Structure 1
Amino acid sequence: MIWVKEAPAYRGEGGFMITPAEPFQRFANRILPANLSDTVYFRFQSLGRSSQLAKTHSLDFAGAGQQIVFVVDGAIKLVAHASETRDQIVAFQFAGEVFTVPGPDNYSYSVSALKDCDVLAFDSAEFLRLASSEAGVLHHLLENTTLSLRRCREKTIALGRKTAGERIAVFLIGMAERIGVEQDGRLVLELPMSRRDISDSLGLTIETVSRQLSKLRDDGVIETVGRSGVILNAVESLRDRAGFLREAA
């Protein structure tokens, strides 16, 4: 069973689930090959469960096993629950992205809306069973898995070996690659997550995140606009501050 509920009550009762055709159509346009037969297309559609999440509401896959999730629109965060009071933001996900929500093991997992959004969830085992004979779908999943592993490795290095300033630089570069919009030679970001979300994700305090962003702003590397807008004025300078291997740039 999949429950939708208001944060932070991740394990409360109650919720809703809808199954409109439009979310699946958007998933199909992005993921499924154009030459897929109608029979297989409708079998994939029958597996999808569409949910609408208001900002700060969460989706708990309690007892549902591993899920493959497509963000139809909006933005969400994947959260691991180590105990009733200890949560960890594992990743941020944006419109058009596919990711895996692990089944319960040493931790449980949920997704929480950073802003109003629609998501489409599939039981992972059922989806992969159907996709096993569809090379185009498997190819996309492999590419997506490779990209997710790259992001995980980057975050592991940042958390384990990088300074606060380097972590913020890596974070901003990663966001620019995914949701940045070029404007007059600069990259504009509209970050849907809060400073607390950023700090929790990077293993920093909110105060440290604010100080590091202020330093980048004072140095002219970025500009901040309101509570969520960030303009990257000098991406190369930001890369220099990210602690990347120069030969790999």
Structure 2
Amino acid sequence: MQRITESDSKYEHLEKMSVIDLLQNINNEDKTVPLAVEKELPSIEALVEAIVERMQTGGRLFYIGAGTSGRLGVVDASECPPTYGVPHDMVIGIIAGGDTAIRKAVEFAEDDNKQAWIDLLQYNINAKDTLIGIAASGTTPYVIGGLQEANRQGVLTGCIVCNSGSPVAAEARFPVEVIVGPEFVTGSTRMKSGTAQKLVLNMISTSVMIKLGRVKGNKMVDMQLSNHKLVDRGINMVMAATGADKEVAQQLLNEFGSVRKAVENYKK
């Protein structure tokens, strides 16, 4: 396979560029990423619809990846409970090398094609669930092995990769291949590839949560009220939805613990 993610940057002598030239050139490359994502919207749509169908019957969503890809999966999963009020074990991100690898690279963790399934078994992954492998190169053994065993066990599989015709995509039932081209710094897939993966993850988790009823109108009515900013946001949302004054809205939030429940009980 052709590994576009490893091909030479279109730019030479980066060390000789001025700061503004560096910034402009990086920005110019970044502008191409949403267009690459746009080309994959039909593939993302198919994956989201399959995930929603599984999760409506009690399934969970898992992400696996190594390095930047793994970290992005962990971030997306960790933001679902506070944003949408879902249980912490509903969307789960797993990174090769374990949580230590979130902050510090764990050498050769991505090269073990057996470890991902071992990690997933700790969560009792089953045929109701969905597994998305994230790998810019599309060649990460950790991800390939995890998807292979998931397929054997009847788990729905998808992937987000940035090379075409990769081994990871070959294992995924619902592959998403966002081809962003060479990185500004050759092979630095934390840049455009990472941005593409983040955009796709945003699309997947947001669309899934909306379809699962976790958004009303355009508001995060089930968000966790975990700091003053979010409490203030919640009060304003209750006021807008009910016409109640600030004091009543705050009392409702304090009593019922969420915007959704506060609004529902006010209307009763």
Q: State the TM-score, normalized to the length of structure 1.
A: 0.26
Q: State the TM-score, normalized to the length of structure 2.
A: 0.25
Greater share of helix: 2
Which one has more relative contact order, counting CA pairs under 8 Å at least 6 apart? 2
Which of 1 and 2 has greater Rg? 2
